[in-house]
Amino acid sequence: MTLESPPIVTTSGFCRLQLRAEPAQFGDVRRIVGAHLRLWGRSGLVDAAAMCVTEILANVHRHVNPPECELVLENMPEGVRAAVGDQSGELPVVIEEVDWFAESGRGMFIVANTANLWGVSPTAGGGKQVWVLLREGV
């Protein structure tokens, strides 16, 4: 995995990774997400968090050149927040009527229907951060 810095791992509930959104490395990212959530006692959110992060990273890979981004995981009282920031101002699009047989176009639909909350926040320099909040037992 191409990381600009090693992951920051703490039991306090915060992790930041600088990475390239390359599909060959998405499995490694899912394992990192899963390890942090298990460490924080949030095992019930691992599958949803790994899937949402992967879908957002796939958008970075497809739409941002170069596909450099930052993944931030936060263990919060209300749930786990996962956010992917990049330098593109292009906003993600949720297609309301998904073509399940198409090669692409389902990712943000899946994210929007998996996360309890999701959104996009602008970042310095014209970029954005796409985030999800996942809650257990909701």
pLDDT digits (tens, 9 = 90+) for 48-106: 999 999 999 999 999 999 999 999 999 999 999 999 999 999 999 888 887 777 777 78
**Average pLDDT of the segment spanning 23-50:** 97
CATH for 3-134 (3.40.50.1580, 3.30.420.10, 3.30.565.10, 2.30.110.10): 3.30.565.10
Q: Which residue bears the tokens 């959110």?
A: 45
What is the chain's mean pLDDT, rounded?
Answer: 90
Give the pTM.
0.89
Residue 75 · residue 13 · CB < 8 Å: yes
Q: Which two tokens stand for residue 53?
A: 């992060």
Torsion of CA 46, 52, 56, 59, to 10 degrees: 120
Angle at the Cα of 29 (from 67 to 8), degrees rounded to 5?
Answer: 95
| Helix, strand and coil percent figures for the chain, each rounded to 5 | 35, 30, 35
Query: Percentage of the chain with pLDDT > 90?
Result: 78
